Structure 1
C-alpha cells in the first residue's frame, strides 16, 4: 500500500525525482533511497503529481498543506453531481489520492444549490419530562430477573416506579409479568402513596391492556405510553433500572460471596431506601 505524502518538502522531492531534477543536498542517502522507492508509485502529467494506477485512471495527489487547492478541485467535481457527503467522498476517492473526508463535508455543507433544493432536516429539540409537584408525573417499568427465580421464592421481576418531581422510587417484587400482578401492585401504590396525575410507561403488553386502562380510569389517572422504538422519554425509569440492577449485584457480592445466584428479594428494600435518601 502506498503511504501518503506528508508535507510540501516530500511532495517537491518526489516531483524532482520524477522530473530528473537535483535534490536538496541535506538529504541522507537513506532518505534519498526511500524517496526514490516511493516515487516509483507516482508520475507527473502537466506538472501535476498523480498516483500511477495501472488499471484505471490515475489519481491526482494533494498533500496536507494544499487544502485550499484540494477544496477547489472537489468543488468543481461536486458542482456536476450535488450528492451527499458520503457518496461524494466515495466519488472523490476515485479521482484524488488521500482525500480528506472533512474537505468533502465542508464543500457539501456550503453548497447553495443543495441548501435550496435539499434543505437539511432540522430535528425538533428534545423535550425533557418535567413535573412541578409531588405525584404530578410518575413512570413505571419492569426489570426481568428470571435467572434468579429459584433463589427468590419464585419472584422473577421488579415493577419499578419513580416520581419525576421527587425522584422517589418504589419497587414491587413480582412472580411474573402477568397483567393482574402488575395491576395489583399498581393499585397498592395508588392506595398507599396517593393518586398521580399522569402515569407513563412503555408499550409492553403488561402495561398496554384493558386491565391497566380500567384501573387508571377508575382512579382518574391519565395513562400515557411512550412511542415504540423511542426510549428517550423513558430515560429516567430506564436509568433507574440500571442503577437498581447494579446495586442489587453489589449487595450480593458484599453479603453472599459464596452464593452463585443473587437473593435480591433480601436486598431490594435496602437498595431502594439508599436510592431515595441519596442526593439527585
Structure 2
C-alpha cells in the first residue's frame, strides 16, 4: 500500500499543487534547487485534479480491484471539514466514531481519527442515548456463507402504536454471516403474520436459509412456522427459555435498533423525543446495511451482494470556495465522489459471461476474507470474555462535565424502556468516594451521589 501523501495545510500549498498539475509550473524559490524541485514534482504526482480544481489522491490497486480515488480535504478549510463530519455522522444515524471514520476515509483523506472521535464524543444526541448495560460473556455462532443461518426476533412498540398508524411490532432478522439486517413493521404478532412476512420479505428475496434461530415466543413455536420450515427443509432452533443470550446477535441488534431510532427521532433544537419510529425505519436499515461491521470489516450489503450500497452517505455533494489564481479570484465548485465497482480494462467489449465470472470471483474473495476476519473476531471475543475488566472510572478529572441517568435503575422496567434518552441529566464531576464505587456529581447546584458500579454517568463527554 503506497504511503499517504502529505495533505496541504494552507491555501497557498493547495494552489501550488493545482497549478503544477494543470500547467507544470514550479515555484520560483525551488527552481534552482534540484533536490527540492525533484521532491516537489514527486509529491505533486501523487495527486490529480478534476475540472473543478479539486484535488484527489490517485486511485490504487488492491487485490485486483481499483479502489476509489479519495478527495483531499485541506487542513485549513474548517468549514468543509465540519460539513463532512456532520454529513457522515449526524446525517448517517449517528454512527460510532470508528464507523464514522471508516466511512469518511473511504472517500476522503485529511480528516484524522482523533478529529472524528472528538466530534462524536461531543455529539449531544450520542451522549444521551449511550447504553448503561454491561457486556456479558458470549458463545460464538458460526456461519460460513450468506443466508445460511439467520436469527429473528420481535421488538415491542405497542406503547407508540397510535402515532405509528397502529403498527406495534417490528420483526427483525439478521444474517449471522454477513450481519445484514431486515426489519419489517407489523400491526400484530400473530404467527400467521410473522410467517407471511418471513416468506415475502426474507425467503422470497434471499431464499430459504438452512437454519432459523429464535426465542420461545408463541409466534415462533406455532404450528404454521413449523410446517413452513419443514416444507422448505429449514432447521428451526429455539433458545433456552428466559435466556436471551442464546440468540445474542439478534438481541444485540435489537438494542442497536432501539438506540438508532432514539437518535433519529431526537429533536435537538426543541429537546423533544419523537415516537413515530415508522417514519425512520427505512432510513435506519439503509444506514445499518451500508455501514462497515467490526466483526468482518465489510458492510453487510457488500458481504451479501459483493458490492457496496450506493446511498446518500457515500456520495456527499458539497460546495466550497477556493482561490484558483494568484489574484485570489474565488470560484464555487461542487465535488461528488464516484463509485468504482470493478476494474475492467475492456469494458466496452467484455462479454456478459466474463463479467459474471469476474463478479463471482470478486464475491468469493470477499467471502473468504470475511470468514478469515470472523475467525479472528471470534478469537478476540474469547480473549475478552476471559480478561474483561471494568473500565476505571476513577480517571475522571474534577470539573469534567458528565451526562448521568438519574431516573434509571437496574430493574427490568427501565431496561425495557424504548425511544427515551438514557442520560437525561448533565452535571459536573466533583469527586470519588473512598469506596471507589460512588461518584459525587453536581447537578443543578446540588451534589448527587451516582453509583459508579452501575455506570450511570458517561465519562466521555468533552468539556
Question: What TM-score, normalized to structure 2?
Answer: 0.32
Q: Is 1:175–2:195 an aligned residue pair? A: no
Larger relative contact order (Cα-Cα within 8 Å, sequence gap ≥ 6): 2
Could you say which residue in structure 2 is the equivalent of 1:236?
249
For residues 158 and 222 of structure 1, what CA distance do their matches in structure 2 show?
Answer: 23
For residue 139 of structure 1, report the CA deviation from its aligned partner: 0.1
For residues 264 and 209 of structure 1, what CA distance do their matches in structure 2 show?
Answer: 28
Select the residue among 212, 219, 225 that pairs with 1:212.
225
Q: Is 1:129–2:141 an aligned residue pair? A: yes
For residue 233 of structure 1, report the CA deviation from its aligned partner: 2.3
Query: In the alignment, is the contact (CA less than 8 A) between 2:211 and 2:236 conserved in 1?
Result: yes
For residues 127 and 260 of structure 1, what CA distance do their matches in structure 2 show?
Answer: 36
Cα displacement string for residues 233-269 of structure 1 (whole angstroms, at most 9, x for unaligned residues): 2110000001001111111114895876411111001
DSSP-derived class of the 1:170 partner: strand
Q: Runs of 4+ in structure 1 displaced over 6 angstroms?
A: none
Q: Superposition RMSD on alpha carbons, in Å?
A: 2.0
Could you say which residue in structure 2 is the equivalent of 1:17?
none
Select the residue among 143, 148, 158 that pairs with 2:170.
158
DSSP-derived class of the 1:133 partner: coil
Cα displacement string for residues 109-132 of structure 1 (whole angstroms, at most 9, x for unaligned residues): xxxxxxxxxxxxxxxx96411100
Cα displacement string for residues 5-38 of structure 1 (whole angstroms, at most 9, x for unaligned residues): xxxxxxxxxxxxxxxxxxxxxxxxxxxxxxxxxx
DSSP-derived class of the 1:130 partner: coil
Cα displacement string for residues 136-173 of structure 1 (whole angstroms, at most 9, x for unaligned residues): 11000000001110011110110000000000000000
Query: In the alignment, is the contact (CA less than 8 A) between 1:171 and 1:272 conserved in 2?
Result: yes
Distance 1:184 1:139, change over 3 A: same
Query: In the alignment, is the contact (CA less than 8 A) between 2:262 and 2:273 conserved in 1?
Result: no
For residues 196 and 270 of structure 2, what CA distance do their matches in structure 1 show?
Answer: 34
Distance 1:267 1:255, change over 3 A: farther
Distance 1:257 1:197, change over 3 A: farther
Within 5 Å, give how 1:6-155 maps onto structure 2: 127-155=139-167
For residues 241 and 256 of structure 1, what CA distance do their matches in structure 2 show?
Answer: 27
Point out where structure 1 has 5 or more consecutive residues left out of the alignment.
1-124
Q: How many residues align?
A: 156
For residues 284 and 266 of structure 2, what CA distance do their matches in structure 1 show?
Answer: 14
DSSP-derived class of the 1:227 partner: coil
For residue 207 of structure 1, report the CA deviation from its aligned partner: 0.3
Question: What TM-score, normalized to structure 1?
Answer: 0.53
For residue 206 of structure 1, report the CA deviation from its aligned partner: 0.8
Select the residue among 196, 202, 212 that pairs with 2:209.
196
For residue 232 of structure 1, report the CA deviation from its aligned partner: 1.9
Could you say which residue in structure 2 is the equivalent of 1:253?
266
Distance 1:278 1:126, change over 3 A: closer
Distance 1:126 1:260, change over 3 A: closer
Query: In the alignment, is the contact (CA less than 8 A) between 2:166 and 2:187 conserved in 1?
Result: yes
Higher strand share: 2
Which of structures 1 and 2 has the bigger CA Rg? Answer: 1
For residues 259 and 190 of structure 1, what CA distance do their matches in structure 2 show?
Answer: 39
For residue 191 of structure 1, report the CA deviation from its aligned partner: 0.9
For residues 229 and 172 of structure 1, what CA distance do their matches in structure 2 show?
Answer: 24
Cα displacement string for residues 170-226 of structure 1 (whole angstroms, at most 9, x for unaligned residues): 000000111111111111110122111100000010101101101111211111111
Query: In the alignment, is the contact (CA less than 8 A) between 2:267 and 2:273 conserved in 1?
Result: no
For residues 140 and 178 of structure 2, what CA distance do their matches in structure 1 show?
Answer: 15
Higher helix share: 1
For residues 182 and 203 of structure 2, what CA distance do their matches in structure 1 show?
Answer: 12
DSSP-derived class of the 2:162 partner: helix
